[in-house]
Each structure stands twice: as C-alpha cells, then as structure tokens.
C-alpha cells in the first residue's frame, strides 16, 4: 500500500491543483490576519471558512482523482498488488496531499504572524486537526460515491449533493425539526443529530475549545451541558475518528467485490 500511496502522492504533488489549493489557503490566511489584526479573531473566522470549504474541496477532489486515475488503477489491478492496497493507497495519497496543502498553506502565515508565542496556538492546532479530519472524511465519502458510480457525471452530481446536504440542508432540517417539536425534550435528539453530521460535529468541537458560548448554538450548548467541555472534546473527536474509520471500512468492502 505504501508504494501506491507514494506514487499517488507524488503524482498529485506535481499536479496544478495541489498548488492552487495551497495558494488559496495561503492567501486566505494572510488576508484574514491582515483584516482581523488579531490571532484569536482570525481563528474564529477561519473556522467558519474551513468547516464549509474543506468538505467541498475534499469531495470534489476525491471524486475527480478517482475518475482521472482509472487508467492507473486498471494498470495496477493486473499487477501483483492487493486490491485494497491499490484503493486505500490512492485514498491516502489524495487525503494526505490535501491535508498538507491545508496545514502548510494556513500554517505559514500564522507562523510568521507569531502563533507560537500566542495563546491561540492550541486553538489554531485544533482547527488544523479538525480540517484534516474533515479532509479524511469527505475524501473517503467521495471515493465511496465514485466507486458506486461508473458514470462520471452522476458521481460528481452525487458528490456535490452530499456536500450541499451536509453543509447546508442538514442544518436547515435540523432547525426546522427543533422548532416543530419544541414542546418535547430535544436534548438527546439534537445530540444524536449532531453526531450524524461531521460538519456540525467539527463546529461543536472547535467552539467547545474556543469556549465562545454565544456561538455554540443549540447543539453546542446541549453538548457542553451534557458532557462538559473536556468530555465533550473527547467524545466529538472520537466520533470524528469513527467518521473516518467507517467510510474506509466501506471502501475496503466495496473494492473487494467490484469488477473492472
């Protein structure tokens, strides 16, 4: 698997898109710092951007890479390499290069601004960790969609729909149900509903750490009340890890049965 990962990773590192992505984050970091002129404020603004954009880029990039590397995959399938190694290697290649662009692109401006001497260093690292988790999750979901659809257009369609659902529609449905069922105790419901959306989960995770109750929202507040800050952090991180592990497991199973 490591060999495939190596080839996928270097292949991506040579492609234009990794640089575009990297430069985008570099620019974002610089602009945010320039406008806010304050590290912890910049971290909060950044959170809102990351939580929406990282999943979008992870899904699109994942689907795109799967379809464009089909030839490479076909070549590998006839070689003495384990099937799961081929696909997991490619998956980690994509996820790794995306995560690196994110971490280095955002990291550089903040390092030069003096993040290491600031109190916001832990908040910032948590932000990057969450961004990495979101990349891993949404790239895996994108691979599942691409594996299930031979048709590229369909695959892209479903991928965008997935992102739209998780980033926008889910919250809307969630809020609507909260208003509709306001006469009932909704603590448990909202807790569980948050767990089922990695984007919400990441938001709660970061806000718990930042400790800004005004921004926590209903779910965040319930989360904090229910688990307390530190247990809440552990549980939400654990859930994010599950969100990575389960899709990878699904990829593993799908790949075993697929014909090429």
Partner 1 sequence: MIEIEYLHKKFGNNQVLKGIDLEIEKGGIFAILGPNGSGKTTLIKSILGMVIPNSGNIKLDGKIVKGKWEYRNEINYLPQIANFPGNLKVKELINMIKDLRSGTNAEDQHLIELFRLQSFLDKKLSNLSGGTKQKVNLVLTFMFDSPLIILDEPTTGLDPISHLRLKDLILTEKAKGKTILITSHIMSFVEEMAEEIVFLLEGKIYFKGSINELKTKTQQPDFEHAIANILTTSDA
**Using an 8 Å Cβ cutoff, are 163 and 56 in contact?**
yes
Nearer to partner 1, 2 or 214 (CB): 2
Q: Which of 5, 9, 11, 194 binds partner 1 (CB under 8 A)?
A: 11
CA distances from 56 to 53, 123, 242 (A): 5, 23, 20
Closest to partner 1 by CB, 180 vs 260, is: 260
Name which position in 20, 23, 27, 77 contacts partner 1 (CB under 8 A): 77
Among 20, 27, 34, 70, binds partner 1 (CB under 8 A): 70
Q: CB of 87: closest distance to partner 1 in angstroms?
A: 13
Write the DSSP string, 37-100. -SHHHHHHHHHHHHHHHHHHHHHHHHHHHHHHTHHHHHHHHTSS--HHHHHHHHHHHHHHHHHH
80 touches partner 1 by CB under 8 A: yes
Binding range to partner 1, per CB under 8 A, among 24-32, 67-75, 200-208, 212-220: 67-75
Applying CB under 8 A, which of residues 69, 132, 202, 224 lies at the interface with partner 1? 69
67 binds partner 1 (CB under 8 A): no
Phi-psi map region of 108: left, alpha, beta (phi>0 left; psi -120 to 50 alpha): alpha
Residue 16 lies near partner 1 (rule: CB under 8 A): no
User: What is the rounded distance in angstroms from the CA atom of residue 33 to the CA atom of residue 183?
Assistant: 44
C-alpha–C-alpha distance, residues 34 and 36, integer Å: 6
Using CB under 8 A, list all residues that contact partner 1. 3, 7, 11, 14-15, 69-72, 74-83, 256-260
């Amino acid at each position: 698997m490591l060999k495939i990962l190596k080839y996928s990773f270097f292949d991506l590192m040579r492609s234009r898109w990794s640089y575009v992505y990297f430069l985008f984050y570099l620019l974002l970091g610089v602009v945010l710092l320039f406008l806010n002129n304050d590290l912890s404020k910049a971290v909060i603004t950044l959170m809102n951007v990351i939580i929406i954009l990282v999943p979008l880029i992870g899904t699109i990039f994942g689907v795109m890479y799967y379809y464009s590397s089909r030839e490479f995959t076909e070549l590998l399938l006839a070689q003495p390499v384990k099937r799961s190694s081929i696909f997991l290697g490619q998956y980690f290649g994509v996820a790794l290069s995306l995560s690196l662009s994110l971490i280095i692109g955002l990291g550089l401006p903040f390092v030069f601004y003096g993040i290491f001497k600031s109190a916001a260093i832990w908040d910032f690292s948590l932000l990057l960790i969450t961004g990495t988790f979101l990349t891993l999750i949404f790239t895996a979901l994108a691979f599942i969609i691409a594996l299930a659809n031979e048709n590229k257009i369909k695959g892209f369609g479903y991928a965008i729909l997935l992102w739209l659902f998780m980033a926008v529609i889910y919250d809307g449905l969630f809020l609507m149900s909260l208003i509709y069922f306001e006469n009932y105790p909704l603590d448990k419901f909202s807790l569980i509903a948050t767990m089922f959306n990695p984007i919400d989960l990441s938001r709660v995770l970061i806000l718990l750490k930042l400790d800004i109750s005004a921004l926590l929202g209903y779910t965040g507040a319930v989360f904090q009340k229910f688990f307390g800050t530190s247990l809440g952090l552990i549980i939400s991180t654990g859930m994010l890890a599950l969100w990575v592990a389960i899709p990878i497991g699904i990829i593993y199973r799908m790949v075993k049965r697929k014909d090429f």
